[in-house]
Amino acid sequence: MTVEITQVDDLTDCLALRHTVFVEEQNVPLELEQDEFDATAIHLLARVDGVPTGTARIVVMDGTGKIGRVCVLKPARGTGLGAALIREALDILKDTQGVTRAVLGARTDALGFYERFGFTAYGEVFDDAGIDHQMMELRFDT
């Protein structure tokens, strides 16, 4: 299995993956899944043996990099591809001048996954498109 994660400007594959996972599997309304941040975000595309299989995006604002829209197709879940996407996003943020922390809104059933990277949960649990989430943070300046 050959995995390649790259930054892409053409969002066709990223949006198709997000549609499959978020809209079709998780019943997130399309109008919530795509937003104005897609136009300016850093988009990562993971290909397994050349086939688009996972994606994530990074929105940088005011010294914070927000990782979001992380998804992997069902057949590749549990293979480490999601972790590879998070590691790549964190590497990009650590190398981005002025960014002092990464944040994300994690599904509550995925908190442990993100804790493995050093993220800590904060704030109250909130509903995002009918799914319980909690904000998480990883500081780079400590």
What value does the mean pLDDT take over residues 120-132? 93
CA dihedral of 88, 125, 38, 117, whole degrees rounded to 10? 0
Sequence-separated (6 or more) residues with CB below 8 Å from residue 93 = 58, 60, 65, 67, 99, 102, 140
Closest CA to 42 of 64, 54, 62, 57: 57
Q: How far is CA 53 from the centre of its chain?
A: 13
Rounded Cα gap, residues 118 and 124, in angstroms: 19
- pLDDT (tens digit, 9 = 90+) per residue, 7-29? 999 999 999 999 999 999 999 99
Per-residue confidence (pLDDT) for residue 47, from 0 to 100: 98
Per-residue pLDDT tens digits for 40-55: 999 999 999 999 999 9
pLDDT tops 80 at residue 142: no
Residue-wise burial string across 114-140, b where 16 or more C-beta atoms lie within 10 A, e elsewhere: beebebeeeeeeeeeeeeebbbbbbee
> What are the chain's domains?
3-139 (3.40.630.30)
Percent of the chain residues past pLDDT 90, beyond the cut: 92
